[in-house]
Amino acid sequence: MALKVESILSVLSHFTRPDRFSESGQYSKARSQPIKSTQSQHVVMDALKKRIRTDVEFCETDGENSFLVGDLGEVYRQYLQWKRELPRIIPFYGKFKFQIIIDKSAVKCNPDPMVLKLFASLGAGVDCASKAEIQASLRAGISADLIVYANPCKAASHIRFAESCNVRMMTFDNAEELYKIKRLFPTAKLLLRILADDSKSVCRLGLKYGAPLEVTCDLLQLAKELGVDVVGVSFHVGSGLWDASAFIDAIFRARRVFDEAKAIGFDFQLLDVGGGFKHDNFQEIARVLGPEVDKYFPAHVRVIAEPGRFMVATAFTLATNIIARRTVKSIPDEINETDSGDRSFMYYVNDGVYGSFNCILYDHTHPLPRVLYHNNSFDHDPAAPKKVKCSIWGPTCDALDCISDKCYLPYALDVGDWLVWENMGAYTICAASNFNGFKKSDIIYVCSESAAERLLIK
């Protein structure tokens, strides 16, 4: 069973190691990419080992289930890096990357409350897509004026709920939505979501949302006639951006709409530059985005962003157990000369594309494992030559449930061994299901930064 929020303090005290904390909470700027810190690696590995040893020795039904280790200290370090590289742009934690479980009496967010609580303590805002996410944010202590209801096409009842909670900032990109907001929440503060060029991203959003520049002036004129208050512009260059130049064009478009609004009689004060930020090219994006914002928008304009993936992707590590193995005749691989070609293996693990690995289908990722536990040992060299060809499959009865149709591991593994998958914090368990009756992966929280821990236990 996943850990509840009420037990977080005992969890933190059980797994964290004070001697590994950085009292200053500082994060070295020298590294070229915000890869997981050594202290995070140690704390996460300790948690992995403890859970796996416990399961092996006292395994009950489902005792070998897959699980995630989430390091809140890593989230904290990502936040610090954001503030260093983009000090003007306020991070609003983007569309929730974790599951939100709704029961009959309340919204229970698992594990969102701890990530949200950390951001609330840091003074960051959040970007929500629904009533449930708004509820989760408010329960975590985030102020209503730090919540943007950033869904351009909203259910009427959710708009009424936002009004009841005084969540006033919300987006729109079409005339019908303007009329709806006018009827249901006439005092809302609106952001016009404009269409940006998202061709340089992995997941393109422009097919669904964003007003083309050809219609923005008409929409603003309609808003003025309706008497609703449009306060700024938002855009999204696509999720998983791989070319920072996309922000140059998007910022220029936003400036044009700001000028249109001024001519119509609006006084825009807010720019939302959306998401698209990844941990592996963040500094490159920051070097482009920061100067472009300063070039086109004076200091009095408030600038926010939605860095969900950037904040949490590297903070969560998934461990899966090999529940079955099938030996098959292998065809020699011309690319990998070390492959003997006599046999390969099909490994079946207890999480798959209907669970945490839905990111393969929806987020276009290609996770690769490394050996965590084999032959009663955790001591395995991650740099060891990968000689054994294999494929890795999830636990359901669907042939679509394939995590990797071809990869290489150092040696043949056995049933009961464990694989570990890093960078599993974004777009994983948020869309996981219980298809075929398989449980979602549990979550164990750790914290590798004492500064973050102090914020969490306030």
Report, as residue numbers or ranges, the catalytic residues: 397
Q: Which residues contact 192 (CB under 8 A, 6 or more apart)?
A: 171, 172, 173, 211, 216, 219, 220, 223, 230, 232, 233, 234, 257
Q: Which residues contact 36 (CB under 8 A, 6 or more apart)?
A: 44, 71, 74, 314, 422
Question: Would you give the end-to-end CA distance of the chain in angstroms?
Answer: 26
Torsion angle, alpha carbons of 133, 138, 139, 140, to 10: 90
Count other C-beta atoms under 10 Å from residue 344's C-beta. 21
Residue 373 structure tokens: 């536990």
Q: Which residues contact 282 (CB under 8 A, 6 or more apart)?
A: 33, 34, 81, 82, 85, 310
For residue 416, how far is the Cα from the chain centroid? 30
**Residue reference for tokens 């416990």:** 54
**Preceding amide of 111 cis, omega within 30:** yes
Residues for the chain: how many in total? 458
* CA 305/CA 293 separation, integer angstroms: 12
Strands (E) across 264-356 are located at: 270-272, 302-305, 316-328, 344-349
H and E: helices and strands count for the chain: 13, 20
| Type of residue numbered 356 | S
* CA 220/CA 368 separation, integer angstroms: 47
Tell me the CA distances in angstroms from 218 to 170, 178, 179, 226, 267, one per residue in order. 19, 12, 14, 12, 17
